[in-house]
Amino acid sequence: MSMEDEVAADKAPKKAVRRAKKQKAKTKRIKKAKLKEGNAGASTAKYPRHTVERALRIARAIIEQNAGRECSENECANYVGVGIGGPFRVEISSGIKYGFLNRPRSGFVGVTERARQALRPQKPGDDIEAMRQAILEAPEISEVYMHYRGEDLPDGSFFENALVDKFGLPLEKVSEFNEIFLQSLQSAHLLERRGEKFRVLDVTSTPERETGADLKRSVGTKIVAGDSCFVVMPFAGAIGGYFQTVYEPAIKKAGLRAVRADADIFGTGKIIDQIWAGINSAKVLVAELTTRNPNVFYELGLAHALDKPVVLVSSNEEDVPFDLKHIRVIYYDMSDPFWGQKLMDKVAENIVSALKNPEEAVFKRVLDSH
């Protein structure tokens, strides 16, 4: 072997070692970057990281110690009595997300009119109204509130599963969000305990309204022309009139055709056969449970047998049978001057939700597991 061959042979393993080291270092950098990216995504939270009441602390300090005038972050931290590190900046972020603080210019913090209303109310209820408006605008918290307004919150793990599956919250943030959400709603008098359940009160005076086209698009191809929604409700009395004033407009808004037995099912043959056909052909049902009408419960039994998704509605909890309470129920309060519009919007939303996620609105059978 020549001298050149010996030198080349000697360098070959060294080059291989260097290449291996470079590849190993590159792989390590990629893994580190992916881990960092994953951790960043997991820890990212759009919602305020503090309760609505705690998020007022900085605004309170500025009002009490600086007459409410804007101040630098350093001054602000001194007023609160904390360092200017990460936790303090997160608290500022929470105040901004609730609309209690703003940034008039870089490095400075200001107090909003909403915070003044919450901390220095001029009349009874000003403070509660300010906190309610903060919740209605807070990222993610407002979405969960609007979804469950007028309903009982699902129990324990069912609510936590919904936060992950429906609202896309990272699993590791669910416990924190749950605590912040519940405490904030309680502070704003938006949560009412009913036995072992919590009812989310609907206080929206001007409800968010999607157009019918928006709702239909959100369901996608699950709705086609002529698809129907069968309304199960008493025919007589004031409640019977809700079909034209509330339920039919809500169903149209969701992109479906409203059908009710007495008005829309006709022809020869037995009425029960026609009702069965109407329920069987419907994409979804709406059931008005107020007054515990026996015909309503009979038709619900048919829907149960056909595994049809049903949107349940009632003016009171007493009229909802115990074995139906595992399904979402919309509760409406006729003492609320906006109850009709709120109910219309909520029924439309829940019809769309039932079409997208029918498991939320289908009767669960005890015998299915046997």
Indicate the range of 101-105, 174-178, 237-241, 247-251 predicted with least confidence. 237-241
Mean local confidence (pLDDT), 148-156: 91
Mean local confidence (pLDDT), 233-239: 86
Average pLDDT, the chain: 84
Q: Give the CA count within 13 Å in the CB-facing half-sphere of 197.
A: 19
pTM of the predicted model, to two decimals?
0.77
Mean local confidence (pLDDT), 270-276: 80
Mean local confidence (pLDDT), 202-208: 69
Q: Does the pLDDT value for residue 367 go beyond 50?
A: no
pLDDT digit string, tens, across residues 17-54? 566 566 665 555 544 444 444 444 445 679 999 999 99
- Helix, strand and coil percent figures for the chain, each rounded to 5: 60, 10, 30
Greater confidence (315 vs 365) lies with 315
What was the pLDDT predicted at 357? 84
What was the pLDDT predicted at 219? 54
Q: Let me know the angle formed at the C-alpha of 321 by 316 and 327, rounded to the nearest 5 degrees.
A: 85
Rg (C-alpha) for the chain, rounded Å, is: 29
What was the pLDDT predicted at 34? 43
Mean local confidence (pLDDT), 239-259: 93
What was the pLDDT predicted at 198? 92
pLDDT digit string, tens, across residues 109-125? 999 999 999 999 999 99
Residue 151 and residue 330 in contact, taking contact as beta carbons nearer than 8 Å: yes
What was the pLDDT predicted at 155? 86
Indicate the range of 10-24, 147-161, 274-288 predicted with least confidence. 10-24
Mean local confidence (pLDDT), 171-198: 94
Q: Let me know the angle formed at the C-alpha of 309 by 296 and 182, rounded to the nearest 5 degrees.
A: 100
% pLDDT > 70, the chain: 78
Cα 258 to Cα 311: distance, rounded to the nearest angstrom: 13
Q: Does the pLDDT value for residue 164 go beyond 90?
A: yes
Cα 272 to Cα 71: distance, rounded to the nearest angstrom: 72
What was the pLDDT predicted at 37? 41
Indicate the range of 73-82, 93-102, 107-116, 352-361 predicted with least confidence. 352-361
Cα 351 to Cα 299: distance, rounded to the nearest angstrom: 18
Q: Does the pLDDT value for residue 1 go beyond 90?
A: no
Q: How many CB atoms within 10 Å of residue 156?
A: 9
Q: How many CB atoms within 10 Å of residue 248?
A: 20
What is the residue type of 72?
S
What was the pLDDT predicted at 369? 44
Q: Does the pLDDT value for residue 288 go beyond 80?
A: yes
**H or E stretch covering 310:** strand 310-314
What was the pLDDT predicted at 277? 87
Mean local confidence (pLDDT), 140-162: 93
Beta bridge partners of 284: 229
Q: Does the pLDDT value for residue 184 go beyond 50?
A: yes
CA 227 centroid distance within chain: 27
φ, ψ (nearest 5 deg) of residue 252: -60, -40
Q: Does the pLDDT value for residue 273 go beyond 70?
A: yes
Beta bridge partners of 199: 152, 192
Here the tokens at position 258 are 């409203």
How confident is residue 7, by pLDDT bands cut at 50, 70 and 90? very low
How confident is residue 197, by pLDDT bands cut at 50, 70 and 90? confident
b/e burial code for range 170-194 (CB count within 10 A of at least 16 → b):
eeebbeebbebbebbbbbbebbeee
Mean local confidence (pLDDT), 64-68: 96
